Every structure is written in structure tokens, then in C-alpha cells.
Structure 1
Amino acid sequence: MNTEGYDKLKKLWKRGTDFLGTEYAIMGGAMSWLSESNLVSALSNAGGFGVIACGSMTPDLLSVVIEETHAKTKKPFGVNLITMHPQIDELIDVTLAHNVKYVVLAGGIPSGGSIKKIKEGGTKVICFAPALSLAKKLIRNGVDALVVEGSEAGGHIGPVSTSVLAQEILPHISDLPIFVAGGIGRGEVMASYLQMGASGAQLGTMFVCAEESIAHENFKKMFMRGNARDAVTSVQIDKRFPVIPVRALKNSASIEFMDVQREVINKYQSGELEMEAAQLEIEHYWAGALKRAVIDGDVENGSVMAGQSVGMVKKIQPVSEILENLVQQAANQLA
């Protein structure tokens, strides 16, 4: 590795490494069913920052996963909580009780009450900022760091690309650390965002095929065969019923989602479901479809969530090697 470039890299992401308490300012994206104790602890032990994906877990299950992670790493890690989860308060209580020092709030704009509760428990709050105005609002509400994630990411996404969001937000906010995410597959682009003012990066897709990832062999094979144009977004069929788009590799499940939306919309229109309950039903569909693919290996009828950087995932390798490659590429670029 280029020593001069690595020294520059350390200076550029010092705010991020100081904030996370890590060697590298590289966060793992929280991927349901994948970001469990094995992958999370591997990321943290290798110098990055692992994040448990709570997703639709119950408080009891989250408690078990946190305990498993603590047993596998003494390094810092975080927990990603979905703001629309019906048991969000109990999940926050579990996270605080297990002395987790970082919570990432996702899946919507978090309430001021949730942010306050987490901070009063002595834990740092990281939130997603899909626009400059929302970034400023979150800062006023007391968040400790932001993630700027573009539409190139896998899973639930917003409408704006990473490069545009970075230009919109990074030059105007210096109050706290900002991590850039979405479509990052090489260290060179990571270095460019650091030079623009980012404090670090968040990557998910690049770690799916890690040796330590529990993803089924079929899931990993589909990932390694995929390319950027295969990772498409789900289609919203009724503008009166907003559905957060999901980016995944094309398969039968992508088509089935259209039928699922129609069923849920009919329930909503008939008064059988309130809007929030209807949106949660959509979330449960994705959670089930993702498990079918990740755990059971049914990559045709399950959801293979992937970011557009999937075309850069070509082999199974240890997390430590993936991180070292990214750091080396960034250092060489900066040199």
C-alpha cells in the first residue's frame, strides 16, 4: 500500500474513525437476514464498523443477536432500527440495555422522541438524510451523524443518485460526520467523496459474498453473475399508495410484488387496513421474500436485494480482504 496515500486517507476520514472508534471509516450497510452476528463481528474485527439489521425482528430476537455479536467482537458496532416498526420503543430499550453505543435509524424520518430517548441512554444516533433540508432538520433534532444514501443502493432506496446527493449536502454541512452510501464498489470513489467533505462511507452489496456472510450459496452465485443493469427498482402501481422502492436483481419475485401491491391496495381501499398497516404488510412481504432467497436459496421466488455495484462482486473472499482492497485503492488514488 502507498504510505503517502494511506497517511492522506487517515487524515481525510479521521473525523469518521474518531466517531466510530474504528481503524477504517467504513460502515457495513444493514441488510436484513445478512447483517447478523457473523458478518457484523467480522466487519468490526477487521477494522470496519458492523451494523446489525433489526428489520422486522422482535425485541427478544434482537436481544439474542446483540448478545451473539458481543460474544464475537469487542470492537464497536451498531444496530439499525426501522422507524415504522410497531415495537420501536421496545427495540430501543433492548439496544440500550445491551450497552450498544450506536443506533442507526432508517425507514423514514425518525421522531424527535426516539432520537431523544436514544441519546439520553448514552448512545449515538445516526440517521439517513435524503435531502439537504431534511439533513438540517435532523441536525436540529440532535442526531450525531448522517448517512447520505443514493438510489444506486440495494434494498429500500430514495429517488436521487449518490453523486447528486453528495453535491447537494456535503459542501453545506460541517456540523457532524457524514457517511456516503449507494453504488460504492471501489476505494477510488470512496476517496473522492472524502475529498468532498465526507467522513467515511457505507457499503452493503460488496460484503454479501464475503466468506463470513451466511447468505445461501445460490444467493452468492446470483450476485456474482449479476451486473449493474440487472439490479432494478420495484414499480409502484398506484400513486395514491406510496411504496418505498426496493432495488433487487430481476426475477419472478419482482413480478409477484405487483400482485402483492394490488392485494394490499384493495384491503386499504375497502377499509380493511389503515395506511400504515398496509405499508407494514408490504414490509413483511419483503422480509419474507428476502429470507426465502438469502436463507433458503430460492433466488427465483425470493427477493435478491442488490445495489448497482453488484457487477463488481466477482468472488467469495474474507471481509478483511475486501476492506484491505478498498483501503489500498483509496490510498493509491490519493497518492
Structure 2
Amino acid sequence: MTSYPKTTTLMERGRAFLGTDYAILCGAMSWVSERNLVSAISNAGGFGVIACGAMTPELLDAEIAATRAMTDRPFGVNLITMHPQLFDLIEVCARHQVGHVVLAGGIPPKGSVEAIKAFDAKVIVFAPTLALAKKLLRSGGDALVIEGMEAGGHIGPVSTSVLAQEFLPELSADHLVFVAGGIGRGEAIAGYLEMGAVGVQLGTRFACATESIAHPNFKAAFFRANARDAVASVQVDPRLPVIPVRALKNKGTEAFTAKQIEVARALDEDGIAMDEAQLQIEHYWAGALRRAVIDGDVESGSLMAGQSVGMVKAEEPVADIIAQLMAESEAALSRR
């Protein structure tokens, strides 16, 4: 392991929590954060996270087993709190003795945190507000990720820099806080570590790694894009609580507007429940993302990307990306 003494010292609590060389998590990107990318990140000293997304328990079972065959280093599993089989997925994690479970997509349902704690796994939570963050940490969350609107995929309304200024002074002394959203270079990592973060999470920088199974068309779209090409989706019907999604603008982003109108009409005419409406939206994104990532349909598929996409210029091995980030952070801290 290359030595980055200043950076690793500031990451010490995060590294100990994750069991890694570097407190760098990979964001859980559906269809992208699978066995190949996850194991590569963990083998390079970071922390890979399997994106369960809409997987069935059987698929997750196979993915965890396959990932474990490719790395003996720690990795986690990201579960969506609104998944209808959430507790079955937690049971799969228990059977595999997964050490860290990330709960994303909303407030964890009653009993879910306790079910994860029952097999001694650590729970990582997301929170868009300081009040909710404190509540989730009191309720059993072992670590928190604050993710700004610059991130790709599902996003909140506040920028990373503002969230960091609000959360870190309040929480960093007593809690483990990772910062995510728009991070593309090590200088930004150094700044958040100095503010009290114990580590960071990146997704977009890893999406086009050599080990990523994303289609060459998907990667090429990232290489062409700049920050302003990654735009947030709009909410069509105020009754439909759609979490905005940041992606590269294409025909797929326009199609999502039509999908919202279709689901809103189903609320009116077919009387479907709001939970079902939300699931339809989530299934839309899962399908649209698959078309882009796996099939290479970059016109109608979803190109979920953060605003740091402009810093993704070429396909690079995961180990090189992590080494570059750490070297940039170390140089920035040494210049202080």
C-alpha cells in the first residue's frame, strides 16, 4: 500500500469502521455496482457496495456469493427501504454474514435496523436533514452518508458543500459521517476530511472504470459529457412524491415525464395505492438504467450521472482512480 500519511490519519475512524485501507466507498449504482466493480474497489483498498436495487432475494444471494469469490476484503450491500421484500433481503445478508448494510431511499421501516443488528452487521444510513440524521443515528445507525444534489441518481435538494457545513460541526465529534455528491478529485476529499468527515463516497468516477461492466456506449457518453449535461428530473404531479434523479439529458429523461403522467393517471382512474405508484416509478428507473448500462441504449435509456461527470475523461483501472484521489488529497493536505 502506498503511504498517504496525512490523508489516512484523517480517515482513521472511517477506515477502522469499514475495515479498509482507504475510507472511500463506491456509491451503489444499479446494474453497475455488481460483483466485478465491487470486488475491484475492495481489492484496491476501498469499500465496494453491491447495489441490490430491485433484485430478488435469490439474485442478491448469488451476487454476494460471486463477489465473495472475487475478494476477501470487506464490502457492503445497499438495500432500498421501499423494496417489498426488504426483510427477505436482510435475511440473505444475514446468511452471508455481510458486515455492512446500507439502507437508502427513505426512512427505514420498523424493525429493519434491528434485523440487521441481529447478525452484528453495521448499519449505514442516509439523511437529507440534520434532524432526521440525529434520529436515525439514535435509532441504531452506525454511520451516516450525507449526499448533496450534485450526485447522480436519486438526489435531494441541497448541495454537498452546504450539507457538510450544516452536518459536520454538529455530528462529526460523536458520529461517523461520510460525504458524497459531486466529488471528483482528491482536493475535495481533503477539504471534507478537514471539516470532520471520516471518509467519502463516489459513484460517477467509478462508473467508467475498466472493471465496470457498463456498455462502451454508456462510458462514451460519460466521456463526452460536462457538468451541465447532468440534469435533475422534474416532478409533474405534486401528488406523486417523486424523488428527483440526476442523469445526462437524452430522450430517456423526456420519457420519464410521460411515465409520471401515466402513473398519475393510474392514481386517478385505477385507484392504485401510492406505494404501488412509487414502485412503478422505481421499476421504470431500473429498466431505463439497464437499457443504458447493459444494452448500450444511450438514447432512450437512463444515463444516471453526477455533476462530476466532466472529470471522467477515460477508462481507468479502479486501483489507479483510488491512487490518484489519495495522491491528490495528500498533496493538498501537504500544501496547507
Same structural fold, with TM-score higher than 0.5 when normalized by the shorter chain: yes
Mapped contact 1:2–1:328 kept (Cα < 8 A): no
Distance 1:2 1:97, change over 3 A: closer
Q: Deviations over 1:229-275 (max 9, x none)?
A: 00000110111211000000000011111110001001012243100
Matches within 5 A, 1:209-288: 209-288=208-287
Q: Which letter maps to 1:25?
A: A
Mapped contact 1:188–1:330 kept (Cα < 8 A): yes
Q: Which letter maps to 1:58?
A: T
Distance 1:112 1:139, change over 3 A: farther
Distance 1:2 1:50, change over 3 A: closer
Q: How many angstroms does 1:109 deviate by? A: 1.1
Look up the match of 1:204: 203
Q: Which letter maps to 2:31?
A: W
> Secondary structure of the residue that 2:84 maps to in structure 1?
coil
**Which of 32, 35, 38 does residue 30 from structure 2 map onto?**
32
Matches within 5 A, 1:56-71: 56-71=54-69
Matches within 5 A, 1:1-335: 6-173=4-171, 174-335=173-334
Q: Which letter maps to 1:130?
A: P
Q: Which letter maps to 2:62?
A: V
1:149 and 1:188 mapped to 2: Cα distance? 18
Q: Which letter maps to 2:23?
A: A
2:276 and 2:115 mapped to 1: Cα distance? 24
Q: How many angstroms does 1:2 deviate by? A: 10
Q: Which letter maps to 2:21?
A: E
Q: Which letter maps to 1:282?
A: I
1:240 and 1:36 mapped to 2: Cα distance? 34
TM-score, normalised relative to structure 1:
0.98
1:21 and 1:277 mapped to 2: Cα distance? 38
Aligned pairs, number: 333
Structure 1, 110-119 or 216-225: larger mean CA deviation: 110-119
Q: How many angstroms does 1:112 deviate by? A: 4.1
Mapped contact 1:292–1:298 kept (Cα < 8 A): yes
RMSD across aligned C-alpha pairs, in angstroms? 1.1
Structure 1: which 5+ residue stretches go unaligned? Answer: none
TM-score, normalised relative to structure 2:
0.98
Q: Which letter maps to 1:216?
A: H
Q: Deviations over 1:38-75 (max 9, x none)?
A: 00000000000000000000000000000000000000
Distance 1:86 1:2, change over 3 A: closer
Runs (4+) of structure 1 exceeding 3 A deviation are none
2:313 and 2:236 mapped to 1: Cα distance? 34
Q: Which letter maps to 1:91?
A: L
Q: How many angstroms does 1:8 deviate by? A: 1.5
1:114 and 1:57 mapped to 2: Cα distance? 18
Q: Which letter maps to 2:59?
A: L
Structure 2: which 5+ residue stretches go unaligned? Answer: none
1:226 and 1:313 mapped to 2: Cα distance? 9
Structure 1, 196-205 or 111-120: larger mean CA deviation: 111-120
1:10 and 1:319 mapped to 2: Cα distance? 18
> Secondary structure of the residue that 1:317 maps to in structure 2?
coil
Tell me the percent identity.
64
1:2 and 1:139 mapped to 2: Cα distance? 34
Q: Deviations over 1:88-108 (max 9, x none)?
A: 000000011111110000010
Q: How many angstroms does 1:176 deviate by? A: 2.0
1:128 and 1:175 mapped to 2: Cα distance? 17
Task: Name the structure, 1 or 2, with higher relative contact order (CA <8 Å, separation 6+).
Answer: 1
